[in-house]
Structure 1
Amino acid sequence: MDETAAAAYAEGAEFNRVDPPPSYEEWLRQEVGLPPVCDSTSNPDCASASNYALQNIHYAHTATLSDGTKLRGQGTLIAVVDDGFRLTHREFAGKTLHSFTGGANFAVEDHGTSVAGIAAGRADGAGIMGVAPEADLHLTSWADVGGNDILDHLTAATDHAADLGAVVQNNSWGFVPETAASEEMAAFASSGTSDYATYITGERGGTPSEWRGLFDAYDRFQETGVIVLANSNDPSLGDASAWAGLPLFVPELSEAWLVASNALFTVDESDGRILDAELLSAPCGSAAAFCLTSDGTVYAPTAANDTSYAFSTGTSFAAPQVAGQVALIAQAFPNLSPEEWTVRLLATARRDWDGFQDTVSGTSTFAPGVSRNYSSLYGHGVPDMKAALSPIGGLSIASGENVYSAQRTSLSGGIATAGPVVGNSIAKAIAGREVMVVDALGTDFYVPGRRLGGETSVNAGKGVADARQMARNVEKMAASFAFVENGSDLPRTLHDVAVPKLFFSQTLAGFDSDTAFSHVFPADEGTFFQFSGQVAHKHEGGEAAFSLSRITASDKFASEVSFSFGHSGAGFFGSETRGPFLAGRNTANAAAGISVSTAISRAWSMGAYAEFGSGFVSDAPHALVDYGALAYASGGLSARRRGVLTERDTIDFYGGMRPSAVAGEAEVNLPVGRDANGTIHYENIAVDLANTDLPLRFGLVYRNRTEQDVDVLFGFNTDLVAASDPDPVFSFSLGLTKEF
């Protein structure tokens, strides 16, 4: 949606022509005994509400779908059951009109013409525009149908509209005399029958089978569309009309059924807040849980001629606004069920005025974390298309069979698509694709894959280290070689050759933990064995890593061959990640490494390290990627300088490639859509894990043990990816340690 475009659109003449002039509203207020506009407030910005702007229709009409079309009802069909229609009115020009007459004459009437025009009158710069101006119409007239045939006629018309794919059926009519829903419920309860079709036969005529046939048709229609009923226009009824509230008596009709009431609204023009609402119709009452309230005072087309219009008011003209909004939502979210279209309107309706809050009578829970109060007068409030088209409760990646039962990972918490060892191969594979994400209601929205794994997940998702970790690695390793540093005649290259793996080994990536250990054992002359590792337990699971090395050292040269194994049940190769793209039940790796070091001078030595290994990922239940087995490599160069500031200090410089996959294939199940039952559809993508940008690491560690046995540590580290946008992560660390 485009704020600027919406604001400009709301100033358009045709957009606002649906609103009657102030003189008509003042006359209407006098007729029904209401005070003048804004008479009950001292707010200087108070004004009568613009009908469509009140409901944020301008945000819908200027919204652009992924295929470039505007959201104005294109491709949807609105069914209208009414007294008759002028098919040649200019508001219907160019539309596909399906007429269902049931063999009788097709009536031409003002009422039906107005109702259809409010729902779908075309936007051509003249006259008015409907809420869904590009929708087509299915029109049914009951005016010339005999009373004994009306039920069969309505049944056939409803089925015919459903067969043609109508997404909504508008009913701006009811049976007379009207009965309040509360009175109907009491009478039905005391009637001695539990079958409403039998009960209503005694009240309205017809036969039970005819009524059941109509109810069944409504039920079938709700498989593909929503049914909208206009509430009674009689405020003295004290409750919604029984006919509008039919699901109260036939519960199977409650899935996709909406009741529309009528009110006049005033707003604060400075910010659009609703200041007050004056109900002109019967209240939502017993039907409040599935009721909305719109401004049904309109300027609408009539049947006098092809260009005639008139002012009217009533729930008859509030209902087609709701019907048009259903069509807009159906165009925006074609994969949702009619029940979900209904819920989006109810769960996002405006209720920001005191009169609503003062008449709250209940709560609807639409999904976990999505509950809304409703009012005995106004139901769930005023439809708000901007909110209905926007995500509710944040967006998540859903991984599972169905959006309702799938595990969800919130985008706001960060989704990791690049991680240790596997690099950014997955991120690159999905970057150019549209990924389905869902809101709290399970509604499908679509984002480019490149938006996943952004800044919010960089620290967790890319397996980066920090300077503190590197400094602690060196500190712990130094403890193993204390006998070398403390005046022993053993070659210093012994220690130098063991250091580079700390910066580039996958197994020792988490060597800074409190449980890390390292021991050196002499073997033959000039030969040593080093055993390093760590064992940790986190609430997600355990981690273990072990490395066994054989070191051969002389005064000028040293070499090390190491074999290592690591297992993590608490992360992805020991790194905490977020989201289903790097979700492993457990991961493991085994590797062989080789390191060499040579003394260039008494002060300087140079070293090199390379590691080759294999890894395995056991998928978590909600994982969207099957990694299986892979091969990886890492390596780098290091340089050590002794005696930088004192005789007991050292500084290590390092640079090279972090562990990166060199072979392996993963399968990504990318969520790309859902159907009306909520079943998630996936696109299967094969990913070459070697197709990753090189993960690089550079840094230094300075360590100084003073004569007072105080260790001073300083570290600098940067991890980055060799790509066009490297996005480096820098860190600095300063540490002081005193042994007692």
Structure 2
Amino acid sequence: MQVGEFIAQTVTVGPLTSGARHAITSNAYSDINLHYARAAGLTGAGKTIAIIDDGFSLSHNDLSKKKVTVFGGNTAEDHGTFVATIAAGNQDGNGVMGVASGADLHLTSWGDGDATKSNTAHLAAATSDASRKGAIVQNNSWGYFSEISGASITLADYNTLVSDLVNSPSEDNTFTNDTPAEAFLARYFDESAEVWTDYVSKLDEFTKQGVVVFAQSNFEDDLSSSLIAALPEIFPELKRSWVVAVNGLPEYDAAGNISEMHRLSARCLETAQYCLTANGSVRGGTTSSDSAYKLDTGTSFVAPQISGSIALLAEAFPALPAADLLKRLFASANNSFLTASGTVDFGNGVTHGYNEEFGHGFLDLKAALLPIGNVGVPDTNNAYGGVAPLSEVSVAAGTAHGDAIRNGLRGVAMAIYDSLGANFTIDARALVEEQSQDFGARLANFQSDTTVKTSTAASYSFMGNELSQDTGGFQFVSGAFSEVGEDLGFMRSGGGLFSGDSSIVSDGPGTMAFATVKKSDSHGFGALAFVEHTSDGVASAGFGFSAARTIAPDLTSVFGFSVNGEAGTALGLSAESLDDESLSAASSAFSFAGEWTYQQGLSFFANAELGMTVSSGAGYITSLDPALHSAFSAGMKVGGVFAKSDAVTFSLRQPLRVEQGSATVRLPTGRMEDGTISYAAHEIDLTPSARQLDFGLRYHIDFLENTSLGLGAALSVNEGHTQGNLGGSGILAFRHRF
């Protein structure tokens, strides 16, 4: 933004003009927060502003380099030139700039080249031409005045004429209550009804694709609105996209809030529901030279600020129809300084107060460009169907996926929407909800692991201390999976020492297992079924088999196979959905466990798991390809270090990690003009950026039969399977049973 051209609108308005007790220094562009729009890069580029006025100096520096379409004849006049430079004057570092300096212009002299004349047929033709050429807004800084009194012709004058004609019939007066309004207007202005029918029709046509802006009268004491500005009161269909401009000079308090508004024109009056106020005290171009400017005030110069604002919004929200752009200006206007006499409901809970003096209040471009009402994801496939919080479609990556989903969505744009259906772009990584480790559950698991085992998972230890023991048949046990599953040779959980899942089966406190084992001289066979309960019900369930064999007197190995079905997650990955669909997954894995007892009190162990997960999609995750995953751990346990009943365990571990897999994410990207949401599909790799490696140390001692102490520390390199992340934790648990 050229700062000089912005500062040029800093003017001082004396008390005789403003009615205030003192001079007021203001900047009309700052008042409407134009600098915010400019900082966002908006200039109205690619949009066309149509202006109907007395005439235009096309050679003026602020107009000469613009793309300008002139309809009909033209003469250079001060008023039209001033209006055009405020709406879209060049931003070139000299003079002034327009609110939408990058916009193109469609210019019409209302007298077809004769500023002293006007005819409705020409206005209709100009309006139609602007509509055909895609103008987004038509600016009308003019009105009708009595040739006798010079007063503005008002809606009340029209209503009086109608009443007189209907209630005073004569032979040459055929007007009745059923007479079309165009006929009354034609009688008032001594034109044909067909001409007015055509003009209203062309205005109606324009409001279907653009916004019509009319300046209110500048007579502060008018008791009724300017007739031409109030046409929607006669033809309600025009209200869909019509706005009336009122001139107000704001004063601010120390906090920057509007403390008082000095009205310098007629009130909004009958047009209050579709009326806006802005500061019409500005500098604009004149015809005395191609670089001439002057200071003036009036609703004529408020209107082009509104027109330029519509062009800026059209650039910012290219998919919004013009009527929606105008709604944004109404619903975001600053009405803090006025006492509302009514409200307009714009839908989805967005209402805005107005009164008959200042309409909806003071134009605020910043507020119009920001989300209005709630902001989030669409409730339906239409932007007008309301929004839900982003959290309701969020994706929570499981520990096995690490940073893969966040990385896959880096740089991917997705759309969110406000209550008025406008779309805004955010980074799709905002979808990803970080899952924090439940340290309380880890501590509970750590504390509950009070037994210093002299043998490990490979020994089916809950059945006895030696694999070779003859049990005489099958034996059964039930309990937490973290204990039973480990004893059957499935992945070691680390007893709460580590974060991150160790296996396709959750080893949380809510996962219970039922197992049976048959053991013989040098081998054994185990089977278990497990189920994970959460507050929402059954989260997962499955079964597993394992076979153990003594390879040497001090070396035992276990091979296993497990299957797990998940509801609502896939290896911890979850996706929220507005229609209550949820992920489901089926995982299977082969596992290996081995233990070598080197000597009394010293043993070594190793575990590994390799498997595949097949899952459905949910929410914005439309599909998941089969994913390969792995986990492993190894370590050493030393008993009797400081006391007969203590043990130290050193561990190296990789938690469950996706090694290969992909997902398709379908994200909203925008909207069509009718509000239909548009989507785009993105394929993301589910392999995280690094491999988490955990180094753990655990010390445990039983002081007495019912008293134990546990100390543990863990260091995680590439924590969360994220490159460069370093994490650590320490746990202390003291337990005494009474």
Distance 1:164 1:127, change over 3 A: same
Distance 1:320 1:593, change over 3 A: same
User: What residue is the counterpart of 1:595 in the other structure?
Assistant: 593
1:85 CA drift (Å): 1.5
1:704 CA drift (Å): 4.9
Contact 2:403 2:722 (8 Å CA) reproduced: no
Distance 1:653 1:165, change over 3 A: farther
Distance 1:497 1:569, change over 3 A: closer
Q: Percent identity?
A: 29
Distance 1:739 1:275, change over 3 A: same
1:138 CA drift (Å): 0.6
Q: State the AA in 2 paired with 1:363.
A: T
User: What residue is the counterpart of 2:540 in the other structure?
Assistant: 544
User: What residue is the counterpart of 1:469 in the other structure?
Assistant: 442
User: What residue is the counterpart of 1:118 in the other structure?
Assistant: 86
Establish whether residue 233 from structure 1 lines up as the match of residue 209 from structure 2. no
Q: State the AA in 2 paired with 1:459.
A: Q
User: What residue is the counterpart of 1:163 in the other structure?
Assistant: 132
1:364 CA drift (Å): 3.4
Contact 1:517 1:533 (8 Å CA) reproduced: yes
* The one of 20, 23, 32 aligned to 1:55: 32
User: What residue is the counterpart of 1:14 in the other structure?
Assistant: 5
Name the SS of the counterpart of 1:560 in structure 2: strand
The TM-score with structure 2 as length reference comes to 0.81
Contact 1:477 1:499 (8 Å CA) reproduced: no
Establish whether residue 106 from structure 1 lines up as the match of residue 106 from structure 2. no
Contact 2:688 2:722 (8 Å CA) reproduced: no
Contact 1:115 1:317 (8 Å CA) reproduced: yes
User: What residue is the counterpart of 1:452 in the other structure?
Assistant: 430
CA distance in 1, matches of 2:179, 2:547: 88
Q: State the AA in 2 paired with 1:115.
A: V
1:662 CA drift (Å): 3.5
- Give the 5 Å matches for 1:130-209: 130-144=98-112, 150-176=119-145, 177-180=152-155, 192-193=177-178, 196-197=181-182, 200-201=185-186, 206=191
Cα offsets for 1:680-708 (capped at 9, x unmatched)? 33333334444754355554555555535
Cα offsets for 1:412-456 (capped at 9, x unmatched)? x9954743444444433332333333344333333445x5367xx
User: What residue is the counterpart of 2:352 in the other structure?
Assistant: 372
Distance 1:724 1:572, change over 3 A: closer
1:499 CA drift (Å): 6.7
Distance 1:247 1:609, change over 3 A: farther
Name the SS of the counterpart of 1:376 in structure 2: coil
User: What residue is the counterpart of 1:296 in the other structure?
Assistant: 280
CA distance in 2, matches of 1:406, 1:100: 42
User: What residue is the counterpart of 1:3 in the other structure?
Assistant: none
Contact 1:497 1:558 (8 Å CA) reproduced: no
Distance 1:21 1:726, change over 3 A: same
Contact 1:585 1:618 (8 Å CA) reproduced: yes
Distance 1:258 1:617, change over 3 A: farther
- Give the 5 Å matches for 1:6-45: 12-22=3-13, 25-29=14-18, 34-37=19-22
CA distance in 1, matches of 2:27, 2:245: 18
CA distance in 2, matches of 1:423, 1:701: 25
Distance 1:52 1:608, change over 3 A: same
Name the SS of the counterpart of 2:616 in structure 1: strand
CA distance in 2, matches of 1:714, 1:199: 94
The TM-score with structure 1 as length reference comes to 0.81
Contact 2:628 2:658 (8 Å CA) reproduced: yes
* The one of 510, 517, 532 aligned to 1:514: 510
CA distance in 1, matches of 2:623, 2:597: 46
Name the SS of the counterpart of 1:92 in structure 2: coil
Contact 1:417 1:424 (8 Å CA) reproduced: no
Distance 1:572 1:239, change over 3 A: farther
- Give the 5 Å matches for 1:447-596: 447-449=426-428, 451-452=429-430, 457-459=433-435, 466=439, 468-469=441-442, 472=445, 475=448, 489-490=465-466, 498=489, 500-502=491-493, 504-509=501-506, 511-514=507-510, 516-517=512-513, 519=515, 521-525=517-521, 527=524, 529=526, 531=528, 533-539=530-536, 542-552=538-548, 556-574=554-572, 584-596=582-594
1:110 CA drift (Å): 2.0
Cα offsets for 1:522-562 (capped at 9, x unmatched)? 443452525252332544x6412234242526562333333
1:137 CA drift (Å): 1.0
Q: State the AA in 2 paired with 1:173.
A: W
* The one of 391, 398, 420 aligned to 1:441: 420
CA distance in 2, matches of 1:705, 1:245: 90
1:321 CA drift (Å): 0.8
Distance 1:179 1:527, change over 3 A: same
Establish whether residue 338 from structure 1 lines up as the match of residue 338 from structure 2. no
CA distance in 2, matches of 1:734, 1:193: 90
Distance 1:149 1:117, change over 3 A: closer
Distance 1:477 1:501, change over 3 A: farther
1:501 CA drift (Å): 3.7
CA distance in 1, matches of 2:232, 2:692: 61
Q: State the AA in 1 paired with 2:131.
A: A
User: What residue is the counterpart of 2:237 in the other structure?
Assistant: 252
Name the SS of the counterpart of 1:427 in structure 2: helix
CA distance in 2, matches of 1:652, 1:182: 97
1:294 CA drift (Å): 0.5
Structure 1: give runs of 5+ residues left out of the alignment: 1-5, 39-46, 65-70
* The one of 56, 64, 67 aligned to 1:93: 64
User: What residue is the counterpart of 1:274 in the other structure?
Assistant: 258
Distance 1:290 1:731, change over 3 A: farther
Contact 1:572 1:587 (8 Å CA) reproduced: yes
Contact 1:571 1:586 (8 Å CA) reproduced: yes
Contact 1:182 1:286 (8 Å CA) reproduced: no
Contact 2:386 2:419 (8 Å CA) reproduced: no
Distance 1:260 1:484, change over 3 A: same
Structure 1, 685-694 or 484-493: larger mean CA deviation: 484-493
User: What residue is the counterpart of 2:366 in the other structure?
Assistant: 386
Establish whether residue 214 from structure 1 lines up as the match of residue 199 from structure 2. yes
Contact 2:690 2:718 (8 Å CA) reproduced: no
CA distance in 2, matches of 1:194, 1:657: 86
Cα offsets for 1:59-118 (capped at 9, x unmatched)? 222333xxxxxx2222221111112222222221201111112xxx42332221111111
1:28 CA drift (Å): 1.6
RMSD of equivalent CA atoms: 4.2
1:135 CA drift (Å): 1.9
Distance 1:122 1:406, change over 3 A: same
Distance 1:206 1:720, change over 3 A: farther
* The one of 581, 599, 602 aligned to 1:604: 602
Establish whether residue 318 from structure 1 lines up as the match of residue 305 from structure 2. no
1:329 CA drift (Å): 1.9
* The one of 298, 320, 341 aligned to 1:361: 341
Structure 1, 161-170 or 173-182: larger mean CA deviation: 173-182
Q: State the AA in 1 paired with 2:591.
A: G
Distance 1:346 1:716, change over 3 A: farther
* The one of 25, 28, 44 aligned to 1:73: 44
CA distance in 2, matches of 1:332, 1:142: 31
Distance 1:601 1:204, change over 3 A: farther
CA distance in 2, matches of 1:184, 1:427: 65
Contact 2:229 2:244 (8 Å CA) reproduced: yes
Name the SS of the counterpart of 1:114 in structure 2: helix
Contact 2:491 2:609 (8 Å CA) reproduced: no
1:615 CA drift (Å): 1.9
CA distance in 2, matches of 1:193, 1:380: 34
